[in-house]
Amino acid sequence: MINTRAMAINTLLAWQESREPLDLVLEQECARAALGDPRDRHFLMALVYGVVRWQGYLDGIIAAFSSHPLTKMKPLTLAALRVGLQQLLFMDRVPESAAINETVRALKEARQPKWLTGFVNALLRTAARRRKTLPPADAAAAVRSHPEWLVARWQALYGRERMQAICAANNREAGLCLRVNTKRISVPQYLEVLASHGIAATPGAYAPAALRLPDDFRGGIAELPGYGQGYFQVQDEAAQLACHLLAPFAPGACLDGCAGLGGKTVQLAWLLPEGTRLVAVEPNARRLALLRENLARLDEEGVELVASTLEEYAAGCRERFSAILIDAPCSGLGVIRRQPDIRWQRSLAILERNRERQGALLAVAASLLAPGGVLVYATCSIEPMENEEVVADFLREQPAFSLTDAREYLPRPAQDLVDEAGFFRTTPEQGLDGFFAARLMKQ
């Protein structure tokens, strides 16, 4: 019988050692163990992501009940304690006995000494017994579950109150948002399809093709009706809105210079008029393969895919584009609620390196843009160093470019998401992914 607690512990250890993205490590662990039951997979995901999300809070409880310092504990012991506490404190459907006994069994299967399994068993039972006296998992606990450098930076940038609000929003699990493929089915029609399957989705608040799934939806994406028919793609409303900034859409050539998995590539294919040539550049082989799969599922095979860096592509390109999207590689600090591991894998040094790389990408894009063309720079970050500071550097170095007000190109409900400078900006406190976009025009 598969012990999902053991799998959770192994996943956390592998993630800490490799520093790879958590979703990739989790997928590798599921494949290694041949975990096929969707219920086991959902439980494992909830457990692992929950531990990473509340790690600082969980560690505080462990420290309160242990005379042994956390820094002296074996990584395996600490991971097991976090897994056990996550079940006890956040997973109401897990019986207390199962949370403790199965976690301890995972250590026994790992051939840990009896004194250590006894220590873990005793600490978890003490925490369960004194559960009502534990500090609440509130905004203060969410702050403790972010690295100190990031908390200090956000407090300096935004003030204490907003810093706490951001941390609290990051520790609320984000719901799923879809973008309906209106080439195949209308938004009202797909709402009816979902309702006929017992899924009470609601229209998005800002993007015209957005649908939000209910918070209690726990099914797989591929299990949603219409997945195989290409009725939708998963995409937060903030990301959906960024592509609108390339308007007015006209026939010609459009470049997605940092395509990634292709969420915005596909959306551009839906938004651009007939006859527009769309080129998507992506150097990573794994992401490019997934992009190709997404395009095939959504029947958007007319996109020209280029397996290279933007610099390599530009070196041999003689064409000039009327519209370019640079959805730049960034820290991802705006999507922590979806990817909680991001907070533990970033540093100020990484932000500084990102800024340099982002500036270089914009410079290359500028050389590929035709006069009168539109260049949209976007990130899924709330960090000024990766956002407005990058744009300010670019405008100083590129006098032919000017910033235009994003408000004019967004649907009416989304215009309030544009700040006084004209930047499109969303934050997790709004129930959206933290996103930034600037619309730049070339004379």
Name the CATH superfamily for 4-137: NusB-like (1.10.940.10)
Confidence check: pLDDT of 36 > 80: no
72-116: per-residue pLDDT in tens?
999 999 999 999 999 999 999 999 999 999 999 999 999 999 999
Check whether the bond before 248 is cis (ω within 30° of 0).
yes
280-314: per-residue pLDDT in tens?
999 999 999 999 988 888 888 789 999 999 999 99
340-356: per-residue pLDDT in tens?
999 999 999 999 999 99
Confidence check: pLDDT of 227 > 70: yes
Q: Is 380 a catalytic residue?
A: yes
What pLDDT does 2 receive?
76
52-79: per-residue pLDDT in tens?
999 999 999 999 999 899 999 999 999 9
Contact 382/436 with Cβ under 8 angstroms? yes
For the beta carbon of residue 437, count every other beta carbon within 10 angstroms: 29
Which residue type occupies 237? E
Q: What percent of the chain has pLDDT over 70?
A: 100
DSSP-derived letter for residue 134 is S
The stretch 114-135 carries a mean pLDDT of 96
165-209: per-residue pLDDT in tens?
999 999 999 999 999 999 899 999 999 999 999 999 999 999 999
Q: Of 25-39, 351-365, 395-409, where does mean pLDDT reach its minimum?
A: 25-39
Tokens of 425: 């900006």
Look up the pTM and report it. Answer: 0.94
Average pLDDT, the chain: 94
Confidence check: pLDDT of 385 > 70: yes
DSSP-derived letter for residue 58 is H
HSE-CB at 187 with a 13 A cutoff on CA atoms is 13
The DSSP code sequence of 203-220 is E-SS-TTEEE--TT--S-
For the beta carbon of residue 132, count every other beta carbon within 10 angstroms: 5
249: confidence class by pLDDT, cuts 50, 70, 90: confident
Fold: same for 4-137 and 237-442:
no
DSSP-derived letter for residue 398 is -
Of the candidates 125, 56, 117, which has an alpha carbon nearest to the alpha carbon of residue 87? 125
The stretch 1-7 carries a mean pLDDT of 86
CATH of the domain spanning 237-442, picked from 3.20.20.70, 3.40.50.360, 3.40.220.10, 3.40.50.150? 3.40.50.150
Contact 393/301 with Cβ under 8 angstroms? no
Query: For the chain, what are the domain ranges?
Result: 4-137, 177-234, 237-442
What pLDDT does 190 receive?
97
394-407: per-residue pLDDT in tens?
999 999 999 999 99
What pLDDT does 298 receive?
85
Confidence check: pLDDT of 251 > 90: no
> Which one of the listed residues 167, 254, 330, 380 is annotated catalytic?
380
Cβ neighbourhood burial of 296 (10 Å; 0-12, 13-18, 19+) = exposed
What pLDDT does 38 receive?
81
What pLDDT does 163 receive?
97
Taking the domain 177-234, which CATH number applies? 3.30.70.1170
What pLDDT does 299 receive?
83
What pLDDT does 1 receive?
61
